[in-house]
Chains A and B, each alone.
Chain A
Amino acid sequence: MTTLRPFTCDDMYKFNNVNLDPLTETYGLSFYMQYLAHWPEYFQVAESPSGEIMGYIMGKAEGVGENWHGHVTALTVSPDYRRLGLAATLMNFLEEVSEKKRAYFVDLFVRVSNNVAIKMYTNLGYIVYRTILEYYSGDPDEDAYDMRKALSRDVNQKSVIPLAHPVRIEEVD
């Protein structure tokens, strides 16, 4: 039951049911606004028949040359609408947009402890490309996996050859 539509500013007034979940971060306004202004096509929301926000995805396209890629900044699904394949639909959408933009791959960062998410992304065809040390600040800081999936333009799947060594945040562009 997934009609996706572009995320609008007003949705920020309604997304509390999704965002109060502890694994979903509520960012400052300008963060969302920047994405809405720059990559509106990458910011989509799934609304339920009764009008609740079931989940949303927020992303962008960036990089030069063979590093031109789609990036998943945030993906979240309300606890009430889990196990319905919604996350896959949202990811699918982002991948399609990235395909249309002729990107080479899609990537995302995830906490190394977030097994549920890692498993889901793996099922969707993502691999751990590299580990980024102390990417998430907190007590203690936590590492992130940079997970990737090659798109059709990357014919030789060059973008998804895993790095042998972890990298620091400063090395990530």
Chain B
Amino acid sequence: MSRHVQNTDPSVLERRLRPIYDWLDSGNNKKALQECEKVLKKTPNLHCAKALKALTLHRMGREQETNVILDNLASEVPTEEATLQAMALCYREMQQVEKISKLYETAVKLNPTNEELHTHLFMTYVRIGNFKAQQQSAMALYKQKPKNPYYCWIVMSIILQARRGEGANDEKKRKVLLNLAERMMEKLVNDNKMEAEQEVQLYIMVLEMQLEYEKILDLVDGPLGEKLQCSDLSILKLLYLKKLQRWQQVNSLCKIILSDNFDKWNVWKTYIASVFDLYETGVNGNGPSDVENDVDSFDNTPEKCHEFICGIIEDGAENSFLLRAPYLARFELCSKLQEKNIKTEDILGDKIELFIEYFRKFGHKSCCVFDLKIYLKVLDAEQKSELATKLIKEVGIGSTSVPQSADQMQSHIGALQLARLSGGHRNLSTEHLRALVTALTLHYQHGYQSYGKDLPSTDLGPSDNYAIMAAHILFDLSKKEDGSDSLISALALLESFLTNSPSNFHAKLLALKYYHILGAVMEANSLYYLLDIKHLQLDSLGYVHCGRLATTGLYSLCAIHFDTTLKFFSSNYKDSTDHLTFSYKFGSFMKLDEFMDFREKLNNSLHYTTTVVDRIVLSLVDCSTLDGIYNVDISFKENKIEWDKLRDNRDLSVYVNWEPEFAENVLEESDEIKTLFAQDLNFLKLRTHILWSLSAGLEVLRSVDGTRQQNIASMRQILKDWEDLENNVKKCDLTPISEDSVSYPLPSRLHAFLDTPFRPIVTLFLSFFEFLTLDNSDEIEKASKATQEELSRLTETLEKKLNTKSSDFREKRKGVERIVNTVEALCIACVMCLMCNELVKPPPQGKKAKKKNPIESKLKCHLDLIINEIKTQINKTSGLVNGLCGETDNRDLVTILDSLNLNTDCATIRKNILLSYRKTRNEIQDVLKSKLKCLDSL
């Protein structure tokens, strides 16, 4: 009968089912379920309606019912497309992707000629990355329908086996597989069947892996090359000529390309590199060459190279073009000459003059500084400072004059930026730097009044960069005697300029950073929202805000930002296999490797894993019942995190800087940042062990006598691992990264973490817990004492490290981070109290057992002693919080500040910072209070 139902007119079924899909799409699961029931009443055996009901129930969180329906459906072996798709979607959302393959495998067996089912089966293997199964199913598909795309799917599946499957660690296997792939593509060519551009691309890809560059060049020149519609053939050829190190041909081809289009910067770089290769190998055109005749077609000396560049510049001048590439090519030549220890002056003349000439031509464009900064390396320190002086002179703006045009202003800004990049601000006195800030601020205001007022609000202001630089110099000053005052001045400047240039994201990023340094997290949060950071930026820019929040004690903000971030990651991980299937569908095979790498990069983001852990810890902080703890998914990835794979996905370059150290080097690759990543990673490893230990403890608690011993052993093992890890970490470089440069993020959370005795507390407490389960009363008493002692040192340690007297907000922020760690330790102690309490509380035996068991009450009394110690520590911490963040409440504070009549911008900033600290204090106090309450209930 059921077969019969499935065979009802599809359009009728479609009409009946439509509303279910619509409700599901709009997220109204309740209505969707009602609709399902309605349809199932009419046609109780309609597979698709059942599948949709399962999906709906799953989305409503009714897992058990979902599973029953799915299992029943699967046993009926559905083959109808819509049903399979609904079931597949459901399995995918339940993260049981293997079942989807099974589903389609069975369906294909029943309908071996159905192309669509075969395709779906292939795609299910793509989603789980089973390359071998992919190959087999593509072959079965090709046998049914011999179409080129399916043939390419086979080849691609073989390539993936070679590169990411069994061939990845087995050179022999790899070779065999790639040979097979190459032969298969050759067959397609020989049979004259190659048609689409994608097929040719796949062939090139295989040849490239086989290092058959020669063949690729022949292919590009041959009839197959004509199929490469969307590629620039000469650039493609250049790529493989380079790999073959045929420098003469590279050189000639570059010249041809450049004569035609001289703004292609990469070709310029290749051209100049080839000149030096020819020069060094002594190819002079007379000896044996790989290019027939035409000695002039390639340049093999720096002189000829320079001649060629000058020729192009002259051509350009005649045509009144002003393109930067040939001018910049001279710098590339210069830096290459210098690399080879060849005197540059003979060919290029005075180096400083070279810069000045470029600056004269392009100085009024903001890109000029970006162009030149990578070549400042050709100058020594003295020349750099000479250049800086000359440039300022060139612009013609002295200490008493202002720019007369927007272009002159941009040149002035450029000259100042290059001066800073040359290290010109490094040795200035505090007074000098302050004077510079004043001058820049005035220039900013003048520039805004003269050239910035009538621009649309979406534009960056033309004089904004004066203010950004002033804010950078104020940061430098904060490292000297000016302290946090100069950061407050910087914030006042940035805030006021943001009212003029509401879309200047540089200012927002900078202010966000300064607020974090000062611990004014509420203010930072407002700026963060102005940046409208979303999607992938939650990963690349997560460090600017979200990554700091766990140190701030603003638990309400933590929850919001952690959840947004985690939602992004988990939903994208689910979706990310879609792109892989698209790649096959559209034949963009060259993107597949990239997509897979990207998927891994995203999923192995250090920021992601850190946020997961932060979120769990936050839940524990909020937690005050044992049930609550069970509800937190604490057993995060169970020891299975692949630490080595975790990646630093931060985009640090989003912060513009003119620090000499990063003129040509990428910040992300600096030693400082590598150290920071290593420290962050260690921090995460250690912190994760808190969770794993607690999780192991919960397992012990949950287990009955039979398995308890085993669970105790694994709990001990985790604690041991933690200890080993901590010892190893302490052997690494534990110096916090420098805070001297505005470009660096704040130092790692590792340092304050290591100052808090998380491990001793958890270890001792869990051993007390362990003895409770074993009823070993001597050991219980000892362990209780040890735990109390360790806890009693908690605030002592904190107090010593805390500088409550300092009025420097930067110190305050560090203090808050320490307090937050202590609060976390206390909350974790409370969690362990709840666990222990479960062991000592009298079993619920009804009215019969009213009398207290004396042994149990004895045990309880050891726990009570610990609880009392925690309470003492909570109260002390509470006092320290007030000491650090101030005791007065918000209204008083505002009144006090207002009564002082501080109507300056700085006073407003200061007031907001204090208000933010007040919020911090309140949130921490609330947590502490709730912990006291929780302990009282035990």
Contact = CB atoms under 8 A, between A and B. Distances in A.
B265 A16 contact: no
Contacts of B585: 37
Contacts of A51: 666
Interface stretch (B162-170, B430-438, B535-543): B535-543
A33 B458 contact: no
B230 A100 contact: yes
Interface stretch (A7-15, A127-135, A138-146, A151-159): A7-15
Interface stretch (B588-596, B812-820, B914-922, B930-938): B588-596
Nearest to B649: A13
Given A1-B263, A30-B579, A97 B540 contact: no
Contacts, number: 134
Given A12-B536, A37-B588, A1 B458 contact: no
A83 B365 contact: yes
Nearest to B458: A22
A124 interface: no
B575 A29 contact: yes
Contacts of A52: 370, 653
Q: Interface residue tally of chain B, by bracket?
A: 35 or more
A39 to B, nearest CB: 8
A16 B540 contact: yes
Nearest to B369: A80
Interface stretch (B113-121, B320-328, B839-847, B859-867): B320-328
Nearest to A101: B229
Contact of B586 (A3, A37, A49): A37
B373 interface: yes
B179 interface: no
A100 B229 contact: yes
A22 B503 contact: yes
Contacts of B536: 12-13, 26, 29
A2 B456 CA distance: 27
B370 A30 contact: no
Given A13-B651, A23-B458, A100-B229, A1 B535 contact: no
Contacts of A17: 653-654
A90 interface: no
B630 interface: no
Contact of B323 (A1, A37, A97): A1
A36 B458 contact: no
B367 A48 contact: yes
A27 B503 CA distance: 19
Contacts of B279: none
Contacts of A30: 572, 575, 578-579
B449 interface: no
A14 B459 CA distance: 21
Interface string B554-594: 00000000000000000010011011001101101011001
Contacts of A20: 505, 509, 531, 654
A101 B230 CA distance: 8
A3 B267 contact: yes
Interface string A21-64: 11100111110011011101100000011111010000000000
Central interface residue in A3, A23, A51, A97, by most chain B CB within 10 Å = A3
A49 B371 contact: yes
Query: Main SS of chain B's interface residues?
Result: helix
Given A10-B598, A100-B229, A28 B535 contact: yes
Contacts of A84: 324, 365, 367
A97 B576 CA distance: 28
A48 B582 contact: no
A49 B328 contact: yes
Nearest to A54: B367
B571 to A, nearest CB: 9
Contact of A38 (B229, B230, B582, B590): B582
Interface string B396-420: 0000000000000000000000000
Contact of A50 (B264, B370, B459, B598): B370
Nearest to B323: A1
B371 A27 contact: no
Interface residues of A, number: 45
Nearest to A102: B229
A50 B575 contact: no
Contacts of A116: 456
B243 interface: no
A29 B578 CA distance: 11
Interface in B614-663: 649, 651, 653-654
Nearest to B585: A37
B507 to A, nearest CB: 11
B906 interface: no
Interface string A106-128: 00000000001000000000000
Interface in B804-828: none
A143 to B, nearest CB: 18
Interface string B283-306: 000000000000000000000000
B796 interface: no
B742 to A, nearest CB: 16
Contacts of B895: none
B535 A38 contact: no
B597 A9 contact: yes
Contacts of B266: 3, 5
A79 interface: yes
Given A50-B374, A83-B365, A14 B594 contact: no
A11 B537 CA distance: 12
Given A21-B503, A22-B503, A52-B370, A1 B328 contact: yes
Contacts of B654: 16-17, 20
B505 A36 contact: no
Contacts of A73: none
A103 B629 CA distance: 61
A16 B590 contact: no
Contacts of A40: 588, 590-591
B460 interface: yes
B374 A80 contact: no
A34 B579 contact: yes
B286 to A, nearest CB: 34
Nearest to B590: A40
A50 B269 CA distance: 12
A1 B230 contact: no
A40 to B, nearest CB: 5
A38 B324 contact: no
B148 interface: no
Contacts of A41: 230-231
B634 to A, nearest CB: 29
Contact of A13 (B229, B263, B540, B578): B540
Contacts of A10: 594, 598, 601
Contact of B595 (A9, A14, A21, A49): A9
Interface in B509-557: 509, 531-532, 534-537, 539-541
Nearest to A34: B582
Contacts of A2: 263-265
B537 A16 contact: yes
A1 B324 contact: yes
B385 interface: no
B130 interface: no
Contacts of B370: 48-50, 52, 80
B208 to A, nearest CB: 15
Contacts of B478: none
Given A13-B540, A20-B654, A33 B582 contact: yes
B610 interface: no
A96 to B, nearest CB: 9
7 contacts: A1-B328, A3-B264, A26-B537, A36-B595, A38-B586, A52-B653, A84-B367
Given A9-B597, A34-B579, A40-B591, 17 more contacts: A1-B323, A3-B266, A8-B594, A9-B594, A13-B539, A14-B540, A16-B540, A17-B654, A22-B458, A29-B575, A33-B595, A36-B594, A36-B595, A37-B585, A48-B367, A79-B366, A80-B366
Closest 5 A/B residue pairs (Cβ):
A41-B230, A37-B582, A9-B598, A20-B505, A3-B266
